[in-house]
Amino acid sequence: MKHRYLPMTEQDRAEMLKTIGIASVDELFADIPEAVRFKGKLDISEPLNEQAMLRHMRTLSGRNADFDRYASFLGAGIYDHHLPVVVNHVISRSEFYTAYTPYQPEISQGELQAIFEFQSYICELTGMEVANASMYDGATALAEAGALAHGVTKRRKLVVSRAVHPEARAILRTTARGLNLDVVEIGCVDGVTDTAAIASAVDADTAAVIVQSPNFFGCIEDIAAIEPVIHGAGGLLVVSSNPLSLGLLEPPGKLGADIVVGDTQPFGIPASFGGPSCGYFAVTGALMRRMPGRIVGQTVDRDGKRGFVLTLQAREQHIRREKATSNICSNQALLALCASVYLSALGKQGIRDVANLNVQKAHYAANALGSRRGMKLAFASPFFNEFAVHLGDNADIGAINAKLLEHGFIGGYDLGRDYPELKGHMLIAVTEQRTKEEIDQFADRLEELL
């Protein structure tokens, strides 16, 4: 068959077979036993030509309610932020996106330097000394942080706040099962982790306390109050943080965190139904050589020129096999590049401005909703760009969101899905994308629906 991706002509095939000294391609597969050969045609979707493919994909895409057509108040880990147009232009350079891992540094300096800059950005935002080249996403990075804490302390208990993203906690449980670790969950008071409960849960076998700030409810945790509890017991403090919030909030590294993780989706990465995204992973200098994943380091070439290489790291082929403490040997390079381009464009002033816009709009929305009939803010703790609203014990959040969709809104997250005690609560995210008009209309519609 002829296909635009396949260059082999009949003449090529004949010449190559002749060089090899065989009569047909089938002879190259003679070592596949007859019993396991596939006969017939794979039962898969019918092929489409380019024109039909584009039409088909437009149809499928058109069946989804996207942020261009709907105003989204949904967050819970993935946010509708403005995507500066330069980001897509840079990541569309095929020298970046069609490259493999930078194993040959002489022809991969562009990617290596981009990762080095990404590591620098993450250190600056988190206040940590070392960051790696990125992880699958924020949730898996959190689980890896738990595994690292176990590896370093040799302790088997992980104390995690229930205000950590439910999916991150679920992955942590799966990871802990693999490593035979125990996970103990800590409840909340007024939307933030119960520090007294942490103190009673932490013991001499606790590898780490894991919190998220801003947490799943949007509330900012008092990390300074949690820090002495775990360090007093000789364990590590792991903080997961929305990196956009660190444009304004004190970085966890300055508050005593040993490992800081999170997801850089707010930095120019499309929501894309939840993936691919890009996790970040940063540690203190003391943990540098224990950090999972890829790391880029600066060095010099034979002529003394500055250059960059993968270092201290496990590559696919050189990972320490059964001695490895993590099996991660790739990163999310292209999305780390998104984040770097975003941060380069925003810069020192822009990161504060966009974080401030999120705070202002979210607080305006919270006040607007909290003053409406039938709605009440769930928590009084300080928050960043997300907050929980109580819509009534019998409010059916799913049905309300279905109705909101008819009015052009993507409603908030149903907290009752993960927290039985928060049935009838909606988690609402307000980013710089939302206008005052949209917020006011959203409040009107929501009030009408109650």
Partner 1 sequence: MSTTSQTEMTRSDVAAVAAPALDVKPVKHDKALIFELSKPGRIGYSLPECDVPETPIESIIPEKLLRKKPAELPEVYEVDVIRHYTALSRRNFGIDNGFYPLGSCTMKYNPKINEDVARFPGFAKIHPYQPEQSVQGALELLYTLQCDLAAITGMDQVTLQPAAGAHGEWTGLMMIRAYHESRGEKRTKVIVPDSSHGTNPASATVAGFETVTIKSDDRGLVDLDALRAAVGPDTAALMLTNPNTLGLFEEQIVEIARIVHDAGGLLYYDGANSNAILGIARPGDMGFDVVHLNLHKTMSTPHGGGGPGAGPVGVKRKLIPFLPAPNVVRKPDGTYGLDHGQPQSIGRVKAFYGNFGILVRAYTYIRSLGAEGLRQVSENAVLNANYMMKRLAPYYDVPFNRPCKHEFVMSGRRQKKLGVRTLDIAKRLLDFGYHPPTIYFPLNVEECIMIEPTETESKETLDAFIDTMIQIAQEAEQNPELVQNAPYTTVVKRLDEATAARKPVLNCSCG
What residues between 182 and 211 interact with partner 1 by CB under 8 A? none
Site residues (CB under 8 A) for partner 1, limited to 58-97: 58-70, 72, 74, 76-78, 80, 82, 84, 86, 88-90, 92-97
What is residue 414's three-state secondary structure? Answer: strand
**Contact between 44 and partner 1 per CB under 8 A:** yes
Identify which range of 23-31, 186-194, 199-207, 226-234 contacts partner 1 by CB under 8 A.
23-31
**Candidate residues 184, 201, 345, 377; the one interacting with partner 1 per rule CB under 8 A:** 345
**Candidate residues 13, 187, 374, 444; the one interacting with partner 1 per rule CB under 8 A:** 13
Taking the alpha carbons of 391, 393, 394, 397 in that order, is the dihedral positive or negative?
positive
Q: How far is the CB of 198 from partner 1 (least distance, A)?
A: 18
Count, residues near partner 1 per rule CB under 8 A: 211
Element (H, E) at 141: helix 138-153
CB half-sphere exposure, 166, CA atoms < 13 A: 10
**Contact between 377 and partner 1 per CB under 8 A:** no
CA 433 to chain centroid: 20
**Contact between 241 and partner 1 per CB under 8 A:** no
**Contact between 100 and partner 1 per CB under 8 A:** yes
**Contact between 154 and partner 1 per CB under 8 A:** no
**Candidate residues 71, 210, 236, 329; the one interacting with partner 1 per rule CB under 8 A:** 329
**Contact between 386 and partner 1 per CB under 8 A:** no
Nearest CB to partner 1, comparing residues 200 and 435: 435
* 25 vs 18: CA distance, rounded Å: 11
**Contact between 254 and partner 1 per CB under 8 A:** yes
**What is the DSSP pairing of strand 386-390 with strand 279-283?**
unpaired
**Per-position x/- string for 393-422, each x denoting binding to partner 1 as judged by CB under 8 A, each - no binding:** -----x--xx--x----x--x---------
What residues have CB less than 8 Å from 337, skipping those under 6 apart? 90, 91, 96, 114, 118
**Candidate residues 146, 191, 218, 251; the one interacting with partner 1 per rule CB under 8 A:** 251
Phi then psi for 178, rounded to 5 degrees?
-60, -35
Question: CB of 424 within 8 A of CB of 394?
Answer: yes
Q: How far is the CB of 410 from partner 1 (least distance, A)?
A: 6
**Candidate residues 183, 185, 199, 350; the one interacting with partner 1 per rule CB under 8 A:** 350
**Contact between 385 and partner 1 per CB under 8 A:** no
**What is the DSSP pairing of strand 188-189 with strand 259-263?**
unpaired
Tokens of 342: 């975003």
What is residue 74's three-state secondary structure? Answer: coil
Q: Closest Cα to residue 194, out of 222, 170, 169?
A: 222
**Contact between 370 and partner 1 per CB under 8 A:** no
DSSP, res 386: E
Tokens of 346: 């925003």
Angle at 319 between CA 315 and CA 321, to 5 degrees: 160
**Candidate residues 182, 208, 280, 328; the one interacting with partner 1 per rule CB under 8 A:** 328
* 152 vs 292: CA distance, rounded Å: 12
**Candidate residues 259, 277, 280, 379; the one interacting with partner 1 per rule CB under 8 A:** 277
CA torsion angle 195 77 293 174 (round to 10): 70
What is residue 46's three-state secondary structure? Answer: coil
Identify which range of 189-197, 202-210, 227-235, 431-439 contacts partner 1 by CB under 8 A.
431-439
**Contact between 324 and partner 1 per CB under 8 A:** yes
**Contact between 431 and partner 1 per CB under 8 A:** no
Q: How far is the CB of 366 from partner 1 (least distance, A)?
A: 10
Question: CB of 250 within 8 A of CB of 270?
Answer: no
Identify which range of 156-164, 184-192, 246-254, 385-393 contacts partner 1 by CB under 8 A.
246-254
**Contact between 371 and partner 1 per CB under 8 A:** no
Say how many residues make up the chain.
450
Q: How far is the CB of 27 from partner 1 (least distance, A)?
A: 7
